[in-house]
Amino acid sequence: MGQDAGVPKSFGPSPEVVLEALRRRSGLSIDDEGRFCVDGERISHARTLEVLWGSLARRPDGLYEVHVGRESAVVEVPFAPYAVRGLVPGPVGLDVLLSDGSREPLRPETLRVGRDGVLRCTVRGEEPARFTRDAQVALGLRLEEDREAPGGYRLLLGGRAWPVGAE
């Protein structure tokens, strides 16, 4: 007998691989309106949402995950992790109201229109955000057609014309 006698051989994936597979099957997702869901059902409990939004982070591999205590779970994000739900006047231009309940200045240089016709921008540093219908209508009232802009529109804001980009 060899020196491995009495030690069972390990078959199958490692514990780390198994845990990652379970994390990926959490059932958590963020829909196109920026709402957290579990198995397709909208989560409405305020404290739960506070914990989920407060811990949402992008992993080095590009996936999003949340942490609750020592546990973590991958969140399916088919569109964008954040949604712009509204616009309000800010100290310098317009502020966007985000799905996580936060508010920040609109960065007009990041405004773009997707192939699906939905407006998007960049928030929270470098995170993509998708405009909800209400927010798109609100911003649409401030847009003008511009054949030279990549997205076909420009935003007049703060005495400047900002071309809307295209994805």
Report the candidate in 135, 105, 103, 141 with the shortest Cα–Cα distance to residue 118.
135
Q: Domains plus CATH for the chain?
A: 15-75 (3.10.540), 82-166 (no CATH)
Q: Residues 42-97: pLDDT tens digits?
A: 999 999 999 999 999 999 999 999 988 888 899 999 989 999 999 999 988 999 99
- Whole-model pTM: value is 0.81
3-state per-residue secondary structure call for 60-95? CCCCEEEEECCEEEEEECCCCCEEEEEEEEECCEEE
Instruction: Read off the tokens for 76.
Output: 């399916």
Q: Residues 107-163: pLDDT tens digits?
A: 999 999 999 999 999 999 999 999 999 999 999 999 999 999 999 999 999 889 999
